[in-house]
A and B are shown apart, each in its own frame.
Chain A
């Protein structure tokens, strides 16, 4: 993860007209003596020219070499008249086709609208018992690809899908919640006083309030991977191999149907291949577990590297990111940015912990308002200077700040005990704060 090459930086700054007299002299010197420098210099200048052309074409700009406000591109291009005529005819055909498609699309949209309205009138949900979208980050699409928003109510037949950086929470009237991870699709089969949903793909975390035994919360009802829940917390995940994995955090659930059903106790998990019986229960593998929005840290991402400007807030499961050159969130540009995570750290066992971070570009960590890790300058790996004694099950305030000031971006927050290997601070030990601080 290297910052911009010194040579490229000098060229780009110079072409921006931002170099000092000394630097300009250095540019002239290097142009005269360094062929590679000259080649890159020429490359960036050509790139600006090409960008100028491409981006001007984007806005429909003209070519006006005489400077009298007349676009003479057509006149000049007429020199190559045959190609020009062919290109114009092609463009006209495309425009005509585009207009025809637009009219067809409008007519289709009206018909679809009428059909949707009729369906809505026929199957209007009971708002008193139907679940609503209680929390949402990123994009959430309905089955017709329209955008769902926080507060929308779901009813039978609805199918919702989260985007690649999104999550959502469905909340039922009795307090039961279904958290959808990114790239997850859930269909609402019976979303009233009785509850039945289908996990089509992705991962969900359920926190189910106690249900009557005769009307349990059902996931994938009637299928080999049916999950029957009376009241518990669990994760269900559909893998790419068309397998369903069920992991129970607390309480117990029944997985499968008829005589193939198995009971999963607390802290166990199983998997169900398509149309097969569930595998025997295994101890829960916490590293594979996503606790939904119940655990993690509240993250606020800022568009500048100094915690200013446009921001977006979400819940992150933990701090384990390698964004490279991508944006940390769809709503941000993703170049220079900063982030702040806040919440509570609850270690499982009492011990001495050594925190460390792999970071590009800078990170700071506070535990109970004490700065324990300060790697604010550009560094790759930084460990705290001393261990911290933490008491198991006790709640510690945690705050992490991060900034990306150039090029690649990434940060991983790890901890280590004397008896264990270094690991990412797990989601199971993190709880988001209600407000950022």
Chain B
């Protein structure tokens, strides 16, 4: 494989977190985000294989592919149609175009912060953000209320964000 052929695949690999974050912001469901991400990956790998016009900003190009897939009425493997307001898609794209250099990399502290979260809470996060379960489904499994879990997840998210900020502040001083 010639080096130029790998250009988008490398970009996909390097920026997959940022790209996934963008797709998640568009569709707000990890199961759907996974499928859109896979479609974007397929398009990128094909593009590398087929050649054509060089891509100057691969990150923006990958996000644009994702946005168009969603805008075109993305259907999940189960046949569910994903409908997202066009204004919203445009606005999210603008917000992510403004991503600063190294902004995503600053989340490297998240791993350490996550270790401070109890195993039980981490399991709730995993069910929500890896397995894509709804709060009702998680509540059934854990014998808790969906409302309590929702508050829990939001609170942990907020704590993690604060923790990352604190770690960054420590590093800067």
Contacts and interface: CB of A to CB of B under 8 A. Distances in A.
Interface of A: 4-5, 8-9, 12-18, 24, 27-28, 31-32, 35, 38-39, 41-56, 58-59, 61, 63-67, 76-77, 79-80, 303-305, 309-310, 325, 327, 333-336, 405-407
7 contacts: A16-B28, A28-B87, A45-B21, A50-B17, A51-B125, A304-B148, A309-B145
B138 interface: no
A53 B24 CA distance: 13
B29 A17 contact: yes
B99 A42 contact: yes
A407 B159 CA distance: 9
Interface string B48-78: 0000000000000000000000000000010
Contact of B130 (A13, A61, A305): A61
The size bracket of the interface on B is 35 or more
A55 B104 contact: no
B38 A44 contact: no
B144 A304 contact: yes
Name the prevailing secondary structure of the A interface residues. Answer: helix
B9 A76 contact: yes
Contacts of A51: 110, 114, 125, 129, 160
B83 to A, nearest CB: 12
Contacts of B110: 47, 50-51, 54
B13 A79 contact: yes
Contact of B118 (A45, A80, A327): A327
Contacts of B151: 335-336, 405-406
Nearest to B96: A42
A28 B85 contact: yes
A208 to B, nearest CB: 40
B130 A52 contact: yes
A336 B152 contact: yes
Given A48-B129, A76-B12, 19 more contacts: A8-B161, A31-B94, A39-B98, A42-B99, A46-B104, A47-B21, A47-B160, A50-B107, A50-B110, A53-B16, A56-B130, A61-B130, A65-B37, A79-B10, A303-B144, A325-B155, A333-B120, A335-B148, A406-B151
Interface string B88-102: 100110111011000
A18 B136 CA distance: 13
A405 B152 CA distance: 10
Contacts of B155: 4, 325, 335, 406-407
